[in-house]
Amino acid sequence: MNPHDIRIQRRSLGFNQDDQRDGDCLIIDRNFHTVQSALIRGDEEVILFNWPLFPVGMWDHVSPWDQYPIGQEKIVYFTNFPKRDAPCDPHGLLSQDSRKTIENKRWEGMKFKFKKVLAQGGHGYATLWDVVFEDQSVRRVVIKRAINPFSKVFNPQEESRFHLRYDGAQHTTQVIDLHREVLDLRDRMLKDGKSKDGPERIGKQWRAEGEKCVVFEYMKYGDMVNIMQMVSTRNVQIPAQVLWGIWECLVLGLATIAYTPSESSGNSSFETWWKDVVSDREEALAFLDRVEREWKIEHDVHLDLEVLNALAGHDPATHPNQPIFKLHDLGAWSYCMNQNWESYNESEFWSMRGPVKPHAATPEQFTKEWDTLNISLPTPLVREVFAGEDLEKEGGNKIGGRFGIWTNIFLVAKVMESIMTREFSRFPYQAVPHYRTHKPTYGGKLQTLEFQHIDLELRDMVMRCLHEKPIDRPHVTHLLRNLLDRKQLGFNNEGPEAVERWWKALLEPQAPKPIPAQAPPPANPVKQVMVASAVKGGLAIASHMAQAAGNQGAPNQPQAHPHIPPHIQQILGGHRAQANIKMPPAQPPVQPPAQPPVQPPVQPPVQPPVQPPAQLQPPPQVQPQGPPKVLPHLRHHKLQFSFKLLLKHLLEASIKANVKANVKANVKVNVRVNVKVSIKAGAKVNFKVSVRASVKVNAKASIEFSPELNSPLPGLKSNFKPTGLDPSLKFNPKPGLKFGLEPSLMFFLTYEGANRM
């Protein structure tokens, strides 16, 4: 169903919005939250006060739940987000503003060096800086300031108030007072008798509030989205011990918020006490018992606790094996419920119903229980419905509007659920029975088979924290006890060093992997056949090619002796000495051959006439030509050689010779090697030699040789036409073919040997 088609039941109140008092929840606000919450739950029907329909103009404010059908599952993964290091100031306007208002001014005891813009929100943006003090020490900080300096939406006092409330805590981000650090540095240098490396820096005294900004500590590894993008991109599994380490940081952040320094805590933070007892399990358990009896919970509620506000930093002093995770942005959407329960009116309680982020909504905000409440209630009745930490009192809501420390527990559990499922968000919000408690939980995804590989105890605890009713969620001290118990059980005999190795592999830059050695590309299929023929016994082909290789000159010109590299000449010389074969006699040099006339490209080459043997003239020597572009032994010329040696080899090979009266100038070589050579030797004789080998070729390939008519030297032009993908060959010559191949012929047969001629 389209959200705009949601079914509406109209309920008349008996009064209009103009009749309402100051402090009452207005009808328009109530109806807006009702429609929004129905879409979050996936409901197709709502009850509106006094309205027969939902105004069209208000749909723009319901986004994003109006963008897809009601009840349709919508999952957003961390990999759907752009990289966290992607530029967020494409036009450089925010950078210019920062340099102008901060870097280009002179400040007392320090100077600012701008690094980059980190993030931009609806009303403010965050920038990264290096602050250089008078002793040349450097501190990296993050400065958050308003996009519009005249806007009242961004309030530096409100942004920093709750962070200062948890001053000194390890698991909430800390506000940095830079001017105080300048004064402390000067005191230390004066006490130690150290002189500054340079003159005292005089300038304007730094006051963050006066500059309408807040200075936070720098968290090296960014937010949880950045961490999960690395995990998801590399597709690595998060070990149980690593998950419990993250959960421990988040729970300690919850404890810091729950037990703000007060008289009951000796004006010390919870973590100050905890770090002194956590190493001794029995002492830690006794401490938790005392906290439950004596310490007062400060129900500070932070409705903007979500994955983007869970930051990861580097603190080897306290967290040597893993990053430290801290809760951040405890500003505009934070509430001191201990005070608000006594002071809030109806409108203020209802204003907390609107989710700050779509993926970070709580049952206290979207539960259907709100739909049963009337508005314009008397103040005492309002307090009875919404106020107090007694979640079972008569007349009070069980879920809707019952904000307290349990609300933070739900939101932090949503962060942990996202880490385990690798899902940034999932809509709609639908509760299912917990497999143990049988009470509704919004963490039902964790009890499916898809996540059975994750530690059962951790999944169970997170699902309990995601119970629909606040009263069913575990207490902060119960979460800490559960942490102590799980750590005592151990993690498959793996110590903290295993956690350190995992985080190091994830966060540290990876060395480039060496490029694996690649096999050389497969050789030309025809070349493989020819070379294999030479090795295995293709003498007939070798003999014909070797004889044809000597005919390089122009027609009617003396035969040129082929150029052979020195190392090949040594091999040939030794072989001929053993066979008692004499080298060709030296011939006197003659003039270079005349170039043949250029023939028209459209006409085929004219076959040379057959001459009687008596008219044959001994060919004079010609000077060697440079390496031709094509295989010289395949060029079309008159072939003149002695039959004796050739016939000897042919008889040894038992190869039949067929004599035909035909002269053919084209040579075609396929997977089956057929060589036809026209021979002129004093008689009109056509000699045809066919050598067959069993060749299996997965990829078909062919080479066609056609006359290259425009070449200055008569020759042939080769065109390789691959017709397949796999040129691998399997060559199985017949065992009956046995030849005694002369090394010179073996060399001429190869592709490289032919190119050297």
CB 689 within 8 A of CB 675: yes
- Check residue 586 and give its pLDDT: 43
pLDDT surpassing 60 at residue 629: no
Same domain, yes or no: 474 and 407: yes
Report how far residue 227's alpha carbon sits from residue 215's, in angstroms, rounded to the nearest whole number: 23
Q: Is the pLDDT of residue 5 over 80?
A: yes
Q: Give residue 160's pLDDT.
A: 93
- Could you tell me the pLDDT band of residue 242, with boundaries at 50, 70 and 90? very high
Selected residue with higher pLDDT from 281 and 593: 281
Structural domain contains residue 396: yes
Per-residue pLDDT band at 435 (split at 50, 70, 90): very high
Under the banding of pLDDT at 50, 70 and 90, the label for residue 588 is very low
* Residue 276 falls inside a structural domain: no
Question: Is the residue at 191 inside a domain?
Answer: yes
Domain identity same for 172 and 239: no
Which residues, listed in sequence order, are joined to residue 732 by a DSSP beta bridge?
694
Residue 597: inside a domain: no
Band of residue 64 on the pLDDT scale cut at 50, 70, 90: confident
Q: What domain range includes position 446?
A: 224-259+297-507
CATH of the domain at 252: 1.10.510.10
Q: What is the mean pLDDT of the chain?
A: 77
Residue 554 has pLDDT above 50, yes or no: no
pTM: 0.69
Indicate if 485 and 395 belong to the same structural domain: yes
Q: How many CB atoms lie within 10 A of CB 612?
A: 9
pLDDT above 70 for 520 = no
Q: Residue 684 above 60 pLDDT?
A: no
Domain boundary among 507, 536, 569: 507
- pLDDT band for position 552 (50/70/90)? very low
597 closest CA partner among 716, 707, 705, 710: 710
Do residues 544 and 630 share a domain? yes
Same domain, 316 and 448: yes
Lowest mean pLDDT among 489-493, 508-512, 623-627: 623-627
CATH of the domain at 178: 3.30.200.20
How many Å apart are CA 51 and CA 53, to the nearest integer?
A: 5
* 47 and 134 share one domain: no
Tell me the pLDDT tens digit for each residue of 340-387. Answer: 999 999 999 999 999 999 899 999 999 999 999 999 999 999 999 999
Tell me the three state secondary structure of residue 76. strand
Q: Decide which of 481, 507, 533 is a domain's last residue.
A: 507
Domain contains 35: yes
Same domain, 634 and 685: yes
Model confidence pLDDT, tens digit, residues 599-620: 444 444 444 444 444 443 444 4
pLDDT of residue 46: 96
Asked if residue 284 is part of any domain, the answer here is no
| 724 or 64, greater pLDDT | 64
Whole-number Å distance between alpha carbons of 536 and 557: 35
Question: Do 709 and 646 share a structural domain?
Answer: yes
Judgement on whether residues 253 and 311 belong to the same structural domain of the protein: yes
Number of structural domains (the chain) is 4
The rounded distance, in Å, linking the Cα atoms of 711 and 398 is: 97
Q: Are residues 55 and 170 in the same domain?
A: no
Contacts of 232 (CB under 8 A, 6+ apart): 77, 78, 79, 422
Whether 21 shows a pLDDT value over 80: the answer reads yes
Residue 675: per-residue pLDDT? 41
What pLDDT, in 10s, does the model give residues 647-675? 455 445 544 444 343 334 333 434 344 44
Asked whether residue 360 falls in the same domain as residue 421, the answer is yes
Q: How confident is the model at residue 164 (pLDDT cuts 50, 70, 90)?
A: very high
Return the SS3 of 495: coil
Residues 20 and 124 reside in one and the same domain: no
